[in-house]
Amino acid sequence: MIQKKIIAHRANTNGPNPKLENLPSQIDDCIGKGYDVEIDLRYHIQTDTYWLGHDEPDHLVTLFWLAARQDKLWIHCKDLDTLHHMSSLTSGYNYFWHQEDDYTLTSKHKIWAYPGKKYTNNTVIVMPEWNNMNWDYLRVTSCYGICTDYPDKLK
């Protein structure tokens, strides 16, 4: 089997679970299982605070919390302020911004592909379940990583 990063989308492991998504303790559980984790981050300039949450700022975290996990996090900046702030920090964080772009390049030079788009060995395939990709095929295909709500299926 080809080694690749398995990335838990919003810290989901066995399907979407809105109550656990972007929850710091769930993120730590995923990292403990050996997964990287895609998180949704919002930085509030006025209060100099960091928040996890897809649609809203739900969970307050610190820069120290992020730094302690930076090697395992794929940080989806949810707005321009967050993207700008992340770009001003020291290197080490892997962050990106996208909406429905076919591709975006992360700060660590990995290609983040919109679901269903072609990929290379430097690409993260995102949400393969949206396109009914075969899990056995995903285990052996040549890509950099796979971001999914079902990482346990790839173990």
For the stretch 85-99, pLDDT in tens is 999 987 899 999 998
CA–CA distance, 96 with 70 (Å, rounded to integer) = 13
Domains of the chain by residue range = 6-100+129-140+147-154
Question: Chain-centre distance of CA 19, in angstroms?
Answer: 17
Q: What is the DSSP string of 20-87?
A: TTT-HHHHHHHHHTT-EEEEEEEEETTTTEEEE-SSS--EEE-HHHHHHHTTTEEEEE-SHHHHHHHH
Collapsed DSSP state (helix, strand, coil) of residue 127: coil
For the stretch 33-89, pLDDT in tens is 999 999 999 999 999 999 999 999 999 999 999 999 999 999 999 999 999 999 998
